[in-house]
Structure 1
Amino acid sequence: MLNTRCLSRATLRAPHAPRISRNITTKANQTRAKAIPHPYAQRRQQHFVRSVVAVTALWGTATAAQWYNGEKFLREVHAEEPPQEQQELNFEKPRRKATSEEENRNLISSQHLQVQKSWENPGVYAWGSNSGKVVAPDSNESFIRTPRRIPFFDGKILRDIKLDRAFGAAIDERGDLLQWGTAFSKETTQPTPTLRGKNLTSLSISRDRIIALSKSGDVYSIPVSQEEQRTGTKPASTSWIPFWGGSNDISFRLRTPQNLAWGERVTQISSGLEHALMLTSTGRVFSFASGTQDYPRKGQLGIPGLTWETRPEGPFDAPHEIATLRGFPVQHIATGDFHSLVSDAAGRAFGFGDNSSGQLGFDFNPEATFIDAPSLLPTQRLYAGTAQQASVTNVFAGGNTSFLTIEAIKAVPNARDSTRVQADVWAFGFGLTGQLGNGRWTHLQSTPIKLPAFSGLYEYDEPTSSVIPIKLAYITVGATHAAAVMDNVASVAVPAASPRSPGSGKLTPNDTNWGRDILFWGNNEFYQIGTGKRNNQPSPTYIQPLDQAAEAEREKGLGFFGEKREKEMHRFQITPRTKVKVNGRNVEMEQKVECGRGVTAVYSAV
């Protein structure tokens, strides 16, 4: 046992094990050692000592290596980096200073700049298909992807404009008709005056003719082709001066109804591809064939049983009164390619014509794809269970798609019910390329569907200190796309010191103008929506301001902290009607939008 203890102690002090072993030998140990053979004990002790020495040597080597590597690692990690020169601070760039109150307003608001530019630079922006040299008469490009000005109309104000891919027509400020495009003439590239001296106020287009309305209520049907205008029959002109007469320069037909009452005149016109409607000041509706290629055969004239074979004697395009609508004082009319819609003063809507895509708002019937007599749309059914009374305020149509604007209010409100008017927009018809505006791709929508983008909207009106509904000003519907202008609160006051207007003087240096919201949706095959991209838009969307050069100039140096402002998105807002000074004259003007067949235009309208 003593030897075992000695070995244990020797293990604790391995380097001096032999010496310790000798020093602690006693008589008792010697007496006990005699029982163990000496050579064996000596060999065992030597073997143990060698083992301890080897382990100790390895431990020392590992410790030294760890110390060296650790010091090296610490030196590498905690080594100080060489001092660098301090970077120079970048202070904010100075903001471009305005030289006038008006320029200060432009810097503050993109919308104010758009309003100002629409007053200072009236004209026409157009985009979409340019296959007929309509949106860009001086260009050979197939498409105009974003809004571009037509130089001919710079500084001009128009009464109306209608565009097709192959031809365009406009009424200038004097009331004369202008035409251009390859369907009009392949040699003439600029808008050319055709029908003059008739004081025209509005127009519509069919497949191959232009329907124009004069201020006195006369309705004219003019061929699109310049060659046909020159070679066709020209009616003799009349004059209130006795024995004073002559011939008109171009061929046209006068389509004013003959049996109008005293003081009754035509106030609205609308045309599809083959038919047209006329609305008089007493609420009567007339229809006639507006094209020469095909006679209307889908019931869109609203005359039951009227066909090419059963038409009465006389001109094939003679006007016919829609007798079914007598007793319903009609206020609005609309035409698609082959269907018609009307609404009356009592808030009712009627449809007739082609219903193959549900564009009349009735269930599709494969055995009867059209309705040849005006039929009442069940609009009150759309508000079943809401205790609201629905009233149709307007109708819009184009292609194979239709729209209604409806105002709904509680019939008998009580103290807890809201008496606010709810303004909604409903769509129905063909929507495979997104032209319904409901965010979906729908082949056939026979039941009107509400458009969330334009329905149930309200805003606060400061002058009246009340919440009012945001109604729709109007919708313009092309063949497969559409645009809507909202009747939201706008500000278009002109300072009294401004050279553009007699002025209201209501703007302070930091007050700004803003216009009305305008949204586009539908088919975008020809870039007719104006986003610069070709994908269709099933949901109404904004586009960028028309004058991008002015926007870029406005954003120079606007960052308060040196940030880049050129990536900031501004939306196009259309200017409402107001009095401004144009070319030294005080005129009342606004911007309007027009969607055609694969093309779109925004123009300055008087």
Structure 2
Amino acid sequence: MLSTRCLSRATSRAPHPPQFTRAITRHSRPLPRARAIPHPYAQRRQQHFVRSVATVTVLFATGATWQWMNGNKIFGEVHAEEPPSQEEQNLKFEEQRRQALSEEDNRNIISSQHLQVQKSWENPGVYAWGSNSGRVVAPDSQETFIKTPRRIPFFDNILLRDIKLDRNFAAAIDEHGDLLQWGVAFAKDVTQPTRTLQGKNLKSLAISRDRIIALSSSGDVYSLPVSREEQMTGPKPPASSSWIPFWGSTTNNISYRIRTPENLSRGEKVTSISSGLEHALMLTSSGRVFSFASGSQDFPSRGQLGVPGLTWESRPQGAFDMAHEILTLKGFPITHIATGDNHSLVSDAAGRAFSFGDNSSGQLGFEFDAEAAHIDAPSLLPTQRLYAGSAQQAAVTNVFAGGNTSFLTIEAAKPNPTAPTPSQTTRVQADTWAFGFGLTGQLATGRWTHTQATPVKVPTFSGLFEYDEPANRVIPIRLAYMSIGTTHAAAVLDNVASVAVSPAARKSHALTPNDTNWGRDIVFWGNNEFYQLGTGKRSNAPTPTYINPLDQKAEDERSAGITGVAKAKRDREKEMHRFQITPKQRVKVAALGGRTVDMEQKVECGRGVSAVYSAV
């Protein structure tokens, strides 16, 4: 459709074409009657002229009608385009950001990650996502899936010591050391976390198929059923007095077993626990490892207890879930333990790793043998072979396991003759190795592998370095820890989590207006059938990937007051604003009555579910 300006120019300024002018001039003079014979070319020009005039008239009438119907003027003065002003000619690369209201607000504007850290301090709580078939990640909702992180309102402004998740039940320990449970496997009619085992000063948890294993600060290990009905009807321990009023009688109403090893030496206590579907490991302060049956349905039968020849038929007299010391590991001071569904890994202070249990997917780090599908005695992993030909000495620093997968973190180093001081004669390289089942991407190697018996390096977490400003040198980026679910996992990197600009601030640990807290990098990978990766999509991820910030509303508020080019730039960079998990720091929390606490955020991957919680 032509505009009014175009139509005006066409009718008032455009001259007639030359052929039209000649035709008009020629026929304006009358010819003598005797010679009044129409010229054929003149007749055609006249017809062409008439059609042209009719066409222009129709276009003008149509344009005028359209303008009239839309309430615009039909006629107006025709002007040339006005040149742009000097202000418009100046290029605007980015508009000035809004004025900061305070030093803290200035840091929020500078860094999206700093804002996340600030919000995690101001609003402690639990975010959960994934399968909600068991009313675990959203206890008060009937939704089948929670596709992106969502807060559980019950835990708002509550700090936790630990949390463990299954699709049908979950358990947590609050900052007072009491156990909370929820989910349909606990009680179908309960929609909120409920306190069960109290007054034991619990500090960490592990879960099997149908039981909860809890470790107290004093080193006592408790095993209790998931079901509230079994807790009420099952055998209860003898009554015991408690120095905390009214708590002794409450705990005696809960059915539980004490699984603390009986033959501990003086001063020795259990410091760590880990559980698979049917078995659990206990690590003591002396580096000894004990195992026991942690489930009620089936006795461990795949060698995951680490005791050669131990079966249901050959077990010693006593309770079926009594603790057994793994004597094969005597002489190796164990520092870390990990359990998958049906296999176990341990590492010692000298950097050695051992594995035992089910090896059907190569999760023990050895080639699968159909005639010996499992190994019932701890077997040394040849980790030095992974660095053959590199002149590096390798030492295992930690082990992780879940489902049918296993991970090792290894530090390798070789002499550096060009180092200026003897303390810098070695350059440490931190690597992560994976093995086991990886058909849904849970090995994090970028490949879909059914069986991976030989450990393969995970590129995302291997050979990373960063510059440490206070130390004035390049340091390796290690893994802080990993949380391995049944088919998916998460890893938190131990990267430098704050940027202090001024030397005085770095020395005093006090923030200046431009100093920022970045948080630690956290990534997720593996199976995403129940949206447990938190990406909002259902596709599996064979390589570690970032997710969006947990509190997207705060991200949107951060952009308030920004317009024009700056806003467009912020929108383009929105996908770059990733979730950064808050490291441990001593802070004053207004939501907790102004108390000063040492808190951090932690991640937990379970069976088709994930959570991030505020931990002490």
TM-score bracket for this pair, using the shorter chain length: 0.7 to 0.9
Structure 2 residue 201 is matched with structure 1 residue 199: yes
Structure 2 residue 474 is matched with structure 1 residue 467: yes
The 3-state SS of whatever aligns with 1:402 is strand
User: Shift of the alpha carbon at 1:585?
Assistant: 1.1
Structure 2 residue 438 is matched with structure 1 residue 431: yes
Structure 2 residue 389 is matched with structure 1 residue 382: no
1:600 to 582, 590, 610: 610
Would you say the 8 A contact 1:93–1:557 is kept in 2?
A: no
User: Shift of the alpha carbon at 1:145?
Assistant: 0.4
The 3-state SS of whatever aligns with 1:421 is strand
Would you say the 8 A contact 1:94–1:557 is kept in 2?
A: no
Distance 2:380 2:509 in 1: 49
Structure 2 residue 101 is matched with structure 1 residue 99: yes
Corresponding residue number in structure 1 for 2:225 = 223
Query: Structure 1 pair 493/276, CA: closer, same or farther in 2 (3 Å)?
Result: farther
User: Shift of the alpha carbon at 1:581?
Assistant: 1.3
User: Shift of the alpha carbon at 1:174?
Assistant: 0.1
The 3-state SS of whatever aligns with 2:108 is helix
Structure 2: which amino acid aligns with 1:592? Answer: K
1:160 to 139, 159, 162: 162
Structure 2 residue 161 is matched with structure 1 residue 151: no
Structure 2 residue 143 is matched with structure 1 residue 136: no
Query: For 1:362-421, what per-residue CA distance to the aligned partner results, in whole angstroms no more than 9, with x for missing partners?
Result: 0011111100000000101000111111100000000000000000011x5544897210
User: Shift of the alpha carbon at 1:119?
Assistant: 0.2
1:455 to 438, 455, 462: 462
* Larger mean Cα displacement after TM superposition, 97-106 or 590-599: 97-106
Would you say the 8 A contact 1:199–1:215 is kept in 2?
A: yes
User: Shift of the alpha carbon at 1:85?
Assistant: 5.9
User: Shift of the alpha carbon at 1:240?
Assistant: 8.0
Superposed, 1:324-473 pairs within 5 Å as 324-410=328-414, 412-415=415-418, 419-473=426-480
Distance 1:494 1:127 in 2: 37
Structure 2 residue 318 is matched with structure 1 residue 314: yes
Query: Structure 1 pair 108/213, CA: closer, same or farther in 2 (3 Å)?
Result: same
User: Shift of the alpha carbon at 1:238?
Assistant: 2.9
TM-score w.r.t. the length of structure 1 is 0.83
Corresponding residue number in structure 2 for 1:588 = 598
Would you say the 8 A contact 1:523–1:536 is kept in 2?
A: yes
Corresponding residue number in structure 2 for 1:558 = 562
1:576 to 579, 583, 603: 583
Distance 1:360 1:237 in 2: 43
Corresponding residue number in structure 2 for 1:544 = 548
Structure 2 residue 79 is matched with structure 1 residue 83: yes
Corresponding residue number in structure 2 for 1:115 = 117
User: Shift of the alpha carbon at 1:99?
Assistant: 1.6
Distance 1:559 1:200 in 2: 51
Query: For 1:544-602, what per-residue CA distance to the aligned partner results, in whole angstroms no more than 9, with x for missing partners?
Result: 10000000110123357354223422011001000011222111000000000000000
Query: Structure 1 pair 107/413, CA: closer, same or farther in 2 (3 Å)?
Result: closer
Would you say the 8 A contact 1:552–1:566 is kept in 2?
A: no
Structure 2 residue 238 is matched with structure 1 residue 236: yes
Distance 2:474 2:273 in 1: 35
User: Shift of the alpha carbon at 1:316?
Assistant: 0.1
Query: Structure 1 pair 504/195, CA: closer, same or farther in 2 (3 Å)?
Result: farther
Would you say the 8 A contact 1:492–1:576 is kept in 2?
A: no
Query: Structure 1 pair 505/350, CA: closer, same or farther in 2 (3 Å)?
Result: closer
Distance 1:435 1:557 in 2: 42
Considering only CA atoms, is the larger Rg found in Structure 1 or Structure 2? 1
How many residues get paired?
526
Query: Structure 1 pair 279/514, CA: closer, same or farther in 2 (3 Å)?
Result: same
The 3-state SS of whatever aligns with 2:79 is coil
Superposed, 1:252-291 pairs within 5 Å as 252-291=256-295
Corresponding residue number in structure 1 for 2:519 = 515
Would you say the 8 A contact 1:400–1:429 is kept in 2?
A: yes
Query: For 1:531-553, what per-residue CA distance to the aligned partner results, in whole angstroms no more than 9, with x for missing partners?
Result: 00000000000001000000011
Superposed, 1:39-54 pairs within 5 Å as none
Query: Structure 1 pair 296/494, CA: closer, same or farther in 2 (3 Å)?
Result: farther
User: Shift of the alpha carbon at 1:111?
Assistant: 0.6
Structure 2: which amino acid aligns with 1:576? Answer: P
Would you say the 8 A contact 1:493–1:504 is kept in 2?
A: no
The 3-state SS of whatever aligns with 2:451 is strand
User: Shift of the alpha carbon at 1:489?
Assistant: 0.7
The 3-state SS of whatever aligns with 1:237 is coil
Structure 2: which amino acid aligns with 1:436? Answer: L
User: Shift of the alpha carbon at 1:265?
Assistant: 0.2
Query: For 1:462-514, what per-residue CA distance to the aligned partner results, in whole angstroms no more than 9, with x for missing partners?
Result: 0011000000111100000000000001118899xxxxxxx966222122211
Would you say the 8 A contact 2:501–2:514 is kept in 1?
A: no
Structure 2: which amino acid aligns with 1:208? Answer: D
Would you say the 8 A contact 1:107–1:558 is kept in 2?
A: no
TM-score w.r.t. the length of structure 2 is 0.81
Would you say the 8 A contact 2:559–2:567 is kept in 1?
A: no
Distance 1:395 1:572 in 2: 25
Corresponding residue number in structure 2 for 1:297 = 301
Would you say the 8 A contact 1:361–1:428 is kept in 2?
A: yes
Structure 2: which amino acid aligns with 1:478? Answer: G
Corresponding residue number in structure 1 for 2:172 = 170
Would you say the 8 A contact 2:274–2:339 is kept in 1?
A: yes
The 3-state SS of whatever aligns with 1:561 is helix
Distance 2:416 2:597 in 1: 44
Task: Say what the alpha-carbon RMSD is for the aligned residues.
Answer: 2.8
Corresponding residue number in structure 2 for 1:56 = none
Would you say the 8 A contact 2:501–2:512 is kept in 1?
A: no
Residue identity over aligned pairs, in percent, reads 73
Which runs of no fewer than 5 residues in structure 2 stay unpaired?
Answer: 1-40, 57-76
1:209 to 204, 208, 211: 211
Would you say the 8 A contact 2:499–2:515 is kept in 1?
A: no
Corresponding residue number in structure 2 for 1:11 = none
The 3-state SS of whatever aligns with 1:566 is helix
Distance 1:162 1:84 in 2: 73
Query: For 1:170-202, what per-residue CA distance to the aligned partner results, in whole angstroms no more than 9, with x for missing partners?
Result: 000000000000000011110000000000000
Query: Structure 1 pair 405/366, CA: closer, same or farther in 2 (3 Å)?
Result: same
* Larger mean Cα displacement after TM superposition, 82-91 or 133-142: 82-91
Structure 1: which amino acid aligns with 2:571? Answer: E
* Larger mean Cα displacement after TM superposition, 93-102 or 452-461: 93-102
Query: Structure 1 pair 300/505, CA: closer, same or farther in 2 (3 Å)?
Result: closer
Distance 2:399 2:107 in 1: 38
Distance 1:98 1:456 in 2: 39
Query: For 1:333-386, what per-residue CA distance to the aligned partner results, in whole angstroms no more than 9, with x for missing partners?
Result: 000000000000000000000000000000011111100000000101000111
Distance 1:494 1:259 in 2: 54
